Structures are given as structure tokens and as C-alpha cells.
Amino acid sequence: MNQEDYAPEEAYEADGGAGDDAEATRRDAGDAESSRASRGWWDRNADEYQNEHGAFLGDDRFVWGPEGLDEAEAALLGPAESLKDKDVLEIGAGAAQCSRWLASRGARPVALDLSHRQLQHALRIGDDVPLVEADAGRLPFRDGSFDLACSAYGAVPFVADPVNVMREVHRVLRPGGRWVFSVTHPIRWAFPDEPGPEGLSVAASYFDRTPYVEQDEEGRAVYVEHHRTLGDRVRDVVAGGFRLVDLVEPEWPAWNTQEWGGWSPLRGNLIPGTAIFVCERSEMGAPGRRLGERLT
């Protein structure tokens, strides 16, 4: 992408946007529909997202979620000094804030995102990180291209087949490579997406894996998010060829007084908002268990 691709005053509209008229429902949504909806939604909403959350995320800060857990403190990818000269792939990079932090530690990051508009915001901030527009399920890199891979709330919650993403990440990592990703904590799906007291009462089954879909008046999905239980996520990691090293559930810190969507100090002090999976590439290869196969 080129710097001139970014037009700050441009009112960006993606084809097929439903705007405020979208209907929320729970229904099945496959790979193609989910990918198309995600690209359109983030292209339409990137400006608002960066305006609302850009100050919290910073230009070159690595934040794992709404709690504000910082990679500089958590070191989930490894000690900061170990990042020097490492090739790192950031998936669902948005405006590439995390990649910029990695570059400041001497790493060689590549920031990948499905949304053209999000990557335009990355260019607005600076052109110091290589940007790639691509789908996480079809990574355009050779086998063994990276030492590390990371994703802060990017791609994984929005794909119908997370095992495919895991296997793609496994493919592009070198032996022993680490893969760390954060998602909304699965317990969130049992509660209303509200930051106040109304968001503290169980309203749905945690075990209902039907995707959340917003669709236009013709029934076309304009936003899709997929629910996996905590056990599902662990099985997805293993099926993708990884060993789970750690599962981090950040506590809400006293300094963080902001609300982010359904998350707030009130809610964050009672139930977890984020789950971070720290994984290492297994040299045993990817097992054969597929998406949706669960022990019963």
C-alpha cells in the first residue's frame, strides 16, 4: 500500500453496507460469508474504531485487550530483549500499533489485515511497517517464514473455521515458533453485551455455539462473530498443531476507568473479559481433529 492511498477526509463506504438498519440474529454463517462480512464491516467502521480507541491503543503500543494488559509488561511473546531480529507476523493488525511496538524492540514485523481501510490507518500513522492485505485463512507467505505470530483480538473470533487459521499459522512459523492470540473471553457469550448492571445476569447458554450475525434487509451478513467455548478454543489450538503453554485471563486493573463496548470496571472486576492463548508450534504435526468435533 502507498501513503497516498489514505484520504483523511474521505467518507468511506463499502458496498452492501447495512448501516444502522442491520438486524441482529443467531444463525449459521460459513467461511465465505463470514470473511466477506468482516471485510465490509471493518472497512465501514475503521474510522470510528480508530477515533474511539486510538488514544487507548496508542500509535506504537502492544495492548492485548480492553483491560489494557501491555506486552511490555506481560512478555507473552518472550522477553523484550529476545525480540530483536525476530520475524513476526501480526494477524488482524488493524492500524499496526502492535507491529510498531515490535519494530521498536528490534523485531521485523509484518502487519496483516483483511480490511483495506484499517491498513490505510496504519499508513496514516506511519509507513515504517510492511503491510499485507489478506485473509487469515489463506496466509500469502512461504512455509517457515516467521519466528513468532501474534493477534490481539484479530481474525480468530470472526472466522468460521479457526482450525484452518491455526494450521496456516503453524505452516508459516519456523520450528519452535510461538503463536499468541487474544479473543473475547468465551464466558462473555452467556451475558448481555452491556457495561452496566444489566450486563451481569446470565441471558443465554454458554454452550450455544450459533454465530452472532448482523444482516441487512436482504438477509446478507454484514457482521459475523463466532462463539467457541474455552474447551473448544483449546481443542482448536491442538488441532492446529500447537502446544498450549499458557492461558492468561487478565484482571481489570484499578487504573483503567474506561468502558469498551460491553466491558467496564464494574463488569471486568467480576468476570473475565479477555482470554489470551500462548502456544508453541508442535513438531509432532497437526492432529486430525476438525472444527466442531468435541468429546461427548
How much is the pTM? 0.90
Per-residue confidence (pLDDT) for residue 171, from 0 to 100: 98
Which residues are CB-neighbours of 246 under 8 A, at least 6 positions away?
76, 276, 277, 278
Q: Tell me: the pLDDT tens digits for 147-170?
A: 999 999 999 999 999 999 999 999
Given a cut of 70, whether residue 174 has pLDDT beyond it is yes
Q: What is the DSSP letter of 141?
A: S
CB contact at 8 A, 96 and 131: yes
Q: Tell me: the pLDDT tens digits for 54-68?
A: 999 999 999 999 999
Q: Using CA atoms, how far apart are residues 193 and 282, in angstroms rounded to an integer? A: 36
Concatenating the DSSP letter of every residue in 47-62 gives HHHHHHHHHHHTTT--
Per-residue confidence (pLDDT) for residue 285, from 0 to 100: 54
Please indicate whether residue 221 or residue 20 has the higher confidence score (pLDDT).
221
Cα atoms in the Cβ-side hemisphere of radius 13 Å centred on 54: 14
Q: Tell me: the pLDDT tens digits for 207-259?
A: 999 999 999 999 999 999 999 999 999 999 999 999 999 999 999 999 999 99
Select from 154, 151, 166 the least CA-distant residue to 281.
Answer: 166
